[in-house]
Chain A
């Protein structure tokens, strides 16, 4: 069923438009949102692998030069796309479910933003066309801004405007890089560009090619929130509603890996590309975790942790071997699930107490034991404790860096894991274990059952990937072997 491939993008977009248009009819839009949200992961799982040529324009073989050209946008759907689209779709379903259960009157525009963001990241994963990727990257940025601005948290507008202003520096710079590539190769199709680069049609030592790498790399830094964008990225997580933040971080991770895989295919012949990625990943790990240690707002703290964990993904891809890239992508998948679990869990605490300052919280273990237990397991998974999924991917990363002859990176990765654990324990202690402050009001406030349900589902996946990592890593490894 290859026809399902474009539908993965089209269905959420149509749902977004319909819900936004019929937002006056509350029940209809609720039902529609629920049904489409269920469909999102199901389509990805039901679809067959393959290519989809938009408009039916198949590749053209030039008889004179013997080169194949792709005249139209191509979507390619393999195991990697399937697993990531299914993960995002599942997360989007859980987030929409939490949202629908929380409010009696739902907001059409907000659901529009959630669906539009999901559609954008799906398209970014599927596409084989670098300009198509840029367009959906911009749509994604607008959707993210909308999700942040729609929250009722103080100063969310300021944060959203800051993100937009930085975005309107980052995205045109990336477009400029795409323009350089277009000038060099005359195409925006990535397969064509890769063919031109690897067969000597483009001089890979020319300054134009190098600068196009720099410009696209800068756009990637903005998309993934690595330094210098780590402050704004953690800021927008902390200013969005908790379930929105859970979805926002998955958008970030997926836009990060989809852009970096494209960059890897084009620029992997350049040594400096890997140096750049490793440098910024190490910087992200150090800055993210050390800043997370000093935060008092626990949403901001999780935001910085999420940014720090992104460094592991970058590290895996920067090392550049098949094993390390597999480890990096597996870490990306784990991070989507675990960070979402933490955001939803800490969001439940915000919901129950209306308080985000760790200094004013305490003693909640007695009131919310279920949330406390699930958060504990999530935190252990993020820090990399066996037999949870974070352990498997981090172990793979440490092994990969040892195999490549960089024991320093292994030590650094282990240290960052330990510091992550310290951050988590510190926060966990001040929220759940320390004596309850007198003025904290926790009576008569229940955690919504939908949030518990969502956390339980995510937890099952975390344990499943921890015990049977081969389910995912074999497929990812095959994919990575294909692009190397």
Chain B
């Protein structure tokens, strides 16, 4: 029952996503598809870690799956983080730059 309520709330939250304007069937079904797609594809891509260590992959896949499913709806959060404002774009660009540099400097020879 709890999961059902949660999914029902998801649909309600999509309304805010498409404001201003009406919400159509196609939009809601598209958003639910996106929701499922994100969860499945992220979990699937964590399986790639098995080439590093099988146990690590299982652990990470489990954690990612639990975190993602308990946090639905994800799409409003995803969309909020990837909106068009310059602030967020620059922030993520520079964070990515620093992650790439740090990763290459300290981990470049480990892979």
A227 to B88 CA separation, bound complex (whole angstroms): 13
Residues of chain B with a CB closer than 8 A to A291's CB? 34, 78-79, 82
Residues of A within 8 A of B79 (CB): 291, 294
Contact indicator A290/B104 (Cβ below 8 Å): no
Q: Which of B30, B37, B41, B105 has the most CB of A within 10 A?
A: B30
For the complex, is A231 an interface residue (Cβ under 8 Å from B)? yes
For A165, A218, A235, A406, the residue with the greatest tally of chain B CB atoms inside 10 Å of its CB is A218
Q: Which of A362-414 contact B (CB under 8 A)?
A: 406, 408-409, 411-412
Which residue of A is nearest B106, CB measured?
Answer: A207
Nearest A residue (CB) for B83 = A231
CB-nearest residue of chain A to B108: A210
Distance to closest chain A CB from B96 (angstroms)? 5
Q: Does A11 contact B (CB under 8 A)?
A: no
A166 pairs with B93, CB closer than 8 A: yes
Q: If A205-B109, A419-B33 touch, does A296 touch B82 (CB 8 Å cutoff)?
A: no
Give complex CA distance A411, B82 in Å: 26
Chain A residues lying within 8 Å of B111, measured Cβ to Cβ, are: 271-272, 275
Q: How many angstroms from the CA of A451 to the CA of B107 in the assembled complex?
A: 51
B93 near A296 (CB under 8 angstroms)? Answer: no
Q: Would you give the 0/1 interface string for A146-169, flagging 1 where the beta carbon is closer than 8 Å to chain B? A: 000000000000010010011001
Do A415 and B108 have beta carbons less than 8 Å apart? no
B93 & A229 in contact (Cβ 8 Å cutoff): yes
In the complex, are the beta carbons of B42 and A286 less than 8 A apart?
A: yes
In the complex, whether B47 has a CB less than 8 A from a CB of chain A is yes
**Interface flags, A260-301, vs B, CB<8A=1, else 0:** 000000000011100110000010011101110110100000
Chain B residues with CB below 8 A from A169, complex form: 90, 93-94
Stretch at the interface among A340-348, A423-431, A465-473: A423-431
Contacts of B78 in A (CB 8 A): 287, 290-291
Say how far A400's CB is from chain B's closest CB, in angstroms: 15
Q: Give the chain A neighbours of B24 by CB distance below 8 A.
A: 359, 430
| Residue A448 is within 8 A (CB to CB) of chain B in the complex | no
Report B15-43 CB contacts with A as 1/0, cut-off 8 Å: 00110011010110111011001101110
Distance of B49 from chain A, by nearest CB (Å):
10
Contact present for A293 and B45 (CB under 8 Å): no
Cross-chain contact A415 with B41 (CB below 8 angstroms): yes
Query: Does A170 make an interface contact (CB < 8 A)?
Result: yes
When each residue 49-78 of chain B gets 1 if its CB lies under 8 Å from chain A and 0 otherwise, what string results? 000000000000000000000000001001
What residues of A have a CB within 8 angstroms of the CB of B47 in the complex?
Answer: 408
- Complex Cα distance, B107 from A272, in Å, reads 9
Between A and B, how many residue pairs show CB distances below 8 Å?
A: 133
* Closest chain A CB from B40 CB (angstroms): 7
Does A217 interact with chain B (Cβ within 8 Å)? Answer: yes
Min CB distance B72 to A, Å, is 13
CA distance A420 to B55 in the complex (A): 33
> Which B-chain residue is minimally distant from A304 (CB atoms)?
B82
Question: Chain B contacts of A217 at CB under 8 A?
Answer: 100
Q: Decide: A282 and B22 in contact? CB cutoff 8 A.
A: no
Q: Nearest Cβ distance between residue B3 and chain A, in whole angstroms?
A: 21
Kindly identify which residue among A162, A215, A282, A294 contacts B45, using a CB–CB cutoff of 8 Å. A282
* Residue of A222, A359, A429 with most chain B CB atoms under a 10 A cut-off: A359
The reply to whether B26 and A426 form a contact with Cβ atoms under 8 Å apart is yes
Closest to B23 in A: A359
> Any chain A CB within 8 A of the CB of B89?
yes
Query: Which chain B positions have C-beta within 8 A of A165?
Result: 86, 90
User: What is the bound-complex CA distance between A289 and B89, given in angstroms?
Assistant: 18
B97 at the interface (CB under 8 A from A): yes
| Chain A neighbourhood of B96, CB < 8 A | 218, 221, 227-228
The contact of B108 among A221, A270, A293, A412, by CB within 8 Å, is A270
B108 touches A207 (CB 8 A): yes
A411 B100 Cβ-Cβ under 8 A:
no
B41 touches A166 (CB 8 A): no
Determine whether A458 belongs to the interface, using a CB cutoff of 8 Å to chain B: no
> Counting CB contacts under 8 A, is B48 at the interface?
yes
Q: How far is the CB of B71 from chain A (nearest CB, A)?
A: 15
Q: Do A293 and B48 touch across chains, with their CB atoms under 8 A apart?
A: no
Q: Which residues of B contact A411 (CB under 8 A)?
A: 44
B89 touches A231 (CB 8 A): yes
B21 touches A422 (CB 8 A): no
Which residue of A has the minimal Cβ distance to B74?
Answer: A290
Give the residue of A214, A230, A359, A416 whose beta carbon is less than 8 angstroms from that of B41: A416
Contact partner, B48, options A271, A290, A406, Cβ 8 Å: A406
The 10 A-B pairs of least Cβ separation, nearest first, read A293-B34, A228-B92, A210-B108, A214-B104, A290-B34, A293-B30, A272-B111, A210-B104, A214-B100, A286-B41
Chain A residues at the B interface, C-beta cutoff of 8 Å: 159, 162, 165-166, 169-170, 173, 205, 207, 210-211, 213-215, 217-218, 221-222, 227-232, 235, 270-272, 275-276, 282, 285-287, 289-291, 293-294, 296, 357-359, 406, 408-409, 411-412, 415-416, 419, 422-423, 426, 429-430, 434
The 23 sampled A-B contact pairs (Cβ below 8 Å) are A159-B84, A166-B93, A169-B93, A207-B105, A211-B101, A214-B100, A215-B101, A217-B100, A221-B96, A227-B92, A228-B89, A231-B83, A285-B41, A286-B37, A289-B34, A290-B34, A290-B37, A291-B34, A296-B27, A359-B24, A408-B45, A415-B41, A416-B41
